[in-house]
Amino acid sequence: METESTADLCFPHLSNISCRKPVSSWPELVLLRVVLLSISLLTVTLNLLIIISVSHFRRLHTPTNVLLLSLAVSDFLVGLLLMPGEILLTTTCWSLGDVSCSLYFFMLFTITCASIGHMVLISVDRYVAICYPLHYPSRVTDKRVKMCVCLYWLCSLLYGGLTVKDDLAQPGRYSSCYGECVIMFDYITGTVDLVVSFIAPITTIIVLYMRVFVVAASQARVMRSNFITVTLQQSGTVTVRKSELKAARTLGVLTVVFLLCFCPYYCVSLAGNNISNSSAVYLAYYLFYFNSCVNPVIYAMFYPWFRKAVKLIVTLHILQPGSSEANIL
């Protein structure tokens, strides 16, 4: 009986302070690991294709695609770093130590904040492009977008560090036994995180896209009436660009899917301060992570240039001289 009890421990030689292994049956754990590892590998592969595509082909070097590139980097890190960490948290004991646990949560909050920020930046980009088309080329330039992206990544790193600063200063302070990796928030930290990383950005995204779709619908009606110009707030006569309207619809789908995958985590986490022990939170985590795998699929469905770029990458045509100048639009 004692041997059986010891076998259930993460670290049998530390029987007095060791956590117990997950109680799920062996087939369930194997199936869960296979599914999560497959999603992780698919997420890394698909987002790597986006990163190579936008980075390599010069015709894709536009402000909007710079945002998509940075979002793909965020999704790539989710598949490369966060998903494997979640597999450890869910299906086995945490054997990487307290320092690695603290770093994992630091990466979690940093990458999550970056992903949310990119959706806000994409919403702002579409808002300016659709609502103020005359000012878009001068206001939204490659240089400004790259500066915004770099600044937001720095802010995300700072936010992640401040959120888990106590755990970074004293790794394992919230663990009750060896083999556990958890983090807990006090009321103030939890409230700030809720406002900064959920309420404020989600509200901004919804308000901007409501305005975008109202204007886009108005422009679409004008186009169907065989008029290709509209007047926007005394801005003069503006040529309606179908590409901008199509981009707005595509990125709108991207945003809606993001909200559907992202909101459940915060809705569930409101039930308590501990964000690592609830099976419901695990499910919400998986849904949020799965969004990083879905984004490239959305690009493949709505962006012909992505399908062409993938074909050139897979066939190794990008290794040929001058391939970066290929017209894939």
Angle subtended at Cα 105 by Cα 101 and Cα 111, rounded to the nearest 5 degrees:
140
In the prediction, which pLDDT does 19 show? 82
For the segment 239-256, what is each residue's pLDDT rounded down to a tens digit? 445 666 666 677 778 878
Q: Look-up: residue for tokens 């240089």?
A: 143
Residue type, 219: Q
Q: Is the pLDDT of residue 322 over 90?
A: no
**Interval 187-216 mean pLDDT:** 83
Report the 10 Å Cβ neighbour count for 7: 9
Q: Which residues partner with 80 through β-bridges? A: none
Phi/psi for 219 (5° steps) reads -70, -35
For the segment 35-91, what is each residue's pLDDT rounded down to a tens digit? 888 999 999 999 999 999 999 999 999 998 999 999 999 999 999 999 888 888 877
**Interval 260-288 mean pLDDT:** 67
Which range among 190-199, 264-273, 299-308 shows the weakest confidence by mean pLDDT?
264-273
**Interval 5-10 mean pLDDT:** 69
| Contacts of range 223-232, beta carbons closer than 8 Å, 24 or more positions apart | 232/131, 232/132, 232/133, 232/134
**Interval 201-221 mean pLDDT:** 80
Q: Which residues partner with 239 through β-bridges? A: 229
* Topology of the domain covering 36-325: Rhopdopsin 7-helix transmembrane proteins (1.20.1070)
pTM reported for the whole predicted model: 0.85
Alpha helices in 78-199 (DSSP H): 83-91, 98-131, 136-139, 142-163, 165-169, 187-194
Q: What 3-state DSSP class applies to 241?
A: coil
Three-class secondary structure assignment of 269-300 = HCCCCCCCCCHHHHHHHHHHHHHHHHHHHHHH
Residue type, 231: T
In the prediction, which pLDDT does 70 show? 94
Which range among 156-160, 206-210, 259-263 shows the weakest confidence by mean pLDDT?
259-263
Contacts of 304 (CB under 8 A, 6+ apart): none
CB 205 within 8 A of CB 119: yes
Element (H, E) at 35: helix 26-56
63-77 vs 98-131: helix crossing angle, rounded to 10: 160
Rounded to an integer, what distance in angstroms lies between the CA atom of residue 306 and that of residue 266?
A: 32
Could you give the count of Cα atoms lying within 13 Å of 276 in the half-sphere of its Cβ? Answer: 23
**Interval 256-270 mean pLDDT:** 76
Rounded to an integer, what distance in angstroms lies between the CA atom of residue 183 and that of residue 317?
A: 47
Torsion over CA: 159, 165, 171, 177 (sign)? negative
Rounded to an integer, what distance in angstroms lies between the CA atom of residue 107 and that of residue 160?
A: 7
Q: What's the alpha-carbon Rg for the chain, to the nearest Å?
A: 23
Q: Is the pLDDT of residue 157 over 90?
A: yes
